[in-house]
Structure 1
């Protein structure tokens, strides 16, 4: 049982006793313990990315952070942005060329990375939108950009692993991956055959996040590079910017949602737990929820549950997605 189980047993909204990202750092006694290590975080212009950066800055690690709007990110990071400890890099997740440029910028400054946090995301895009490469926007932003970023940073992640702290990739997914039962067929990731649905497309992209983490563990865990994915919880952040004001109001005034809702500081806690938890040292291929490894169960109708479902772990589809993703980002095979 997780040390945080009791705190999550009876949620009472964003001001309750559920842990914050900074509490995780304190509980794991990680203040100043990652000096000399490099952490890369995507999507730090708002929400969970900011609170993740705030907590990890306390570890003393050097932070390389990406954002589409650097001025917005600097404002959001506010008093925690220390140019001597942090570096902001432009990255537009809707452009694979931008991802390549961002990776090159980071690798020009360091050849060892110990932690990669894939946090940036988008949801509820109303109509079918394609990136410049022709890929569905949610799938491209949430999965393909992070997949390519990982592939480019992989040599540094392998080099940054050590016996006392093995490298970690932490991918922010969602309980939304439970909505559809797995991935669509390889020839219809981008709704080439029609039938686009915003919720289904988001679910597919979040399933891809889970499968990427599981497959990283399968391929690189024995080399000291581990990966987990997670559900952060229900948090009011700009992730919902494609939703209408009426939809957002209906969601946030729902009494059940209000009870389960977390603050951004609480929402970043599971990400940070996956990043620094001693319990997870040398482990991966796990789906996390509420600062613990998610329980496995059957399908249910609770949209707020972070439990794993049967298709959360699917080696056949994980391998298929990996192969297809390599081709989509222009990498015909592994290095």
Structure 2
């Protein structure tokens, strides 16, 4: 961390297209996970419309093909392809990695599941941690050579202010002893997304790979299908936050900033919100529930421990 936070001319309600204005991504190759809905669609659309060759890595390829067709309507020259990827299935991740050829310039780890109402296990792990963190960890580390082969690759890890709710529970990540709570589990996975950026920065610096994390903001998408939105908005208001939600175009702006903007060239290991680097807070009461980053999410010791732990969960340690 540095004393001076990174700021940009953009803000909470800037759109992805505004952030990417004037950016030429011709010749760049990008992968966006979860690009068949929500902010993933708008992230992919913006990158493709600015010249990038974009792979939509999605669970439902039929829906992905519909999105690709829609992107081409708005940008006839867009180069978009669709490939299957199930982040909760290690064989699916391995197949995606094995099929990838050539350099990869931009990897946007966008897909996720949120606030599953009941404890669900994937390979013995809590499903949100297994999907949101470990699946993306396996994907990114599997694609490391492709990222290193690019000239200044960027990896974007979509986290959430929900990370403020829970650090990584190294001794009980699957809630075998700690009573399961949907938002604690979600928060743990989102903390892991930030820690991945911190340790990825340290390990991959010599490869010229930048890794950053972000909070996209409050957006109503299919991600919240297990969430009572009225209750969530009420909680936001009680914390002093506005109940105005972003559009998906606005929600994708910080992802696009970190993936494509020259304003953050060379920046790595940071956590952004509303197109700016977030302030570190020491207590959750200092936040309105949407802003700020917890020290435990940027702690280098936690980050190194999580990386080693994740490798062992994948059978690599």
Q: 1:274 aligns with which of 249, 258, 270?
A: 258
Helix, strand or coil at the partner of 1:283 = coil
Determine the structure 2 residue equivalent to 1:14. Answer: none
Query: Match of 1:87?
Result: 81
Once the two structures are TM-superposed, the CA of residue 83 in structure 1 deviates from its matched residue by 9.4
Q: Is there any run of 5+ residues in structure 1 with no aligned partner, and where?
A: 9-17
Equivalent residue number for residue 16 of structure 2:
21
Q: Please report how far the alpha carbon of residue 93 of structure 1 lies from its aligned counterpart in structure 2 after TM superposition.
A: 1.5
CA 1:215/1:254 → structure 2, altered by over 3 Å: closer, same or farther? Answer: closer
CA shift, 1:188, in A, is 1.6
Superposed displacement of residue 77, structure 1: 4.3
User: How many angstroms does 1:122 deviate by?
Assistant: 0.7
- CA shift for structure 1 position 85: 1.1
* Alignment of 1:102 onto 2:87: no
Counterpart pick for 1:2 among 2, 7, 13:
7
Question: Does the 8 Å contact 1:4/1:290 carry over to 2?
Answer: no
1:170 alignment counterpart: 156
Q: How many angstroms does 1:250 deviate by?
A: 3.4
- Measure the CA separation in 2 of the matches of 1:3 and 1:321: 30
**C-alpha separation between the residues in 2 aligned to 1:254 and 1:318?**
30
**How does 1:135-146 map onto structure 2 within 5 Å?**
135-146=125-136
Deviations along 1:110-150, whole A, 9 cap, x unmatched?
A: 3100110000011110111011x222110011000000001
How has the CA–CA distance of structure 1 residues 84 and 272 changed in structure 2, closer, same or farther, with 3 Å as cutoff? closer
In structure 2, the residue matched to 1:13 is none
Which residue, 236, 248, 251 being the options, matches 2:229? 248
| Counterparts of 1:216 and 1:183, CA distance in 2 | 17
User: How many angstroms apart in 2 are the aligned matches of 1:236 and 1:287?
Assistant: 22
Change in Cα spacing, 1:156 to 1:255, as seen in structure 2 (3 Å) is closer
| Structure 1 position 293, deviation (Å) | 1.1
Question: What number of residue pairs does the alignment pair up?
Answer: 305
Offset of 1:255 from its aligned partner?
Answer: 8.1
Note the C-alpha offset of 1:153.
0.5
How far apart in 1 are the matches of 2:77 and 2:90? Answer: 27
- The aligned residue for residue 216 of structure 2 is 232
Of 283, 289, 295, 2:267 maps to 283
Of residues 14, 35, 42 in structure 1, which corresponds to 2:26?
Answer: 35
Report if the CA contact (8 A) 1:234-1:304 is conserved.
Answer: no
Instruction: Report how far residue 281 of structure 1 moved.
Output: 1.1
**1:75 paired to 2:66:** yes
Question: Could you say what the CA RMSD is over the residues aligned between the two structures, in angstroms?
Answer: 2.0
Q: Aligned partners of 2:188 and 2:281: how far apart in 1?
A: 20
Distance 1:311 1:254, change over 3 A: closer
Counterpart Cα distance in 2 of 1:83 and 1:309: 42
Specify which of 310, 323, 327 is matched with residue 295 of structure 2: 310
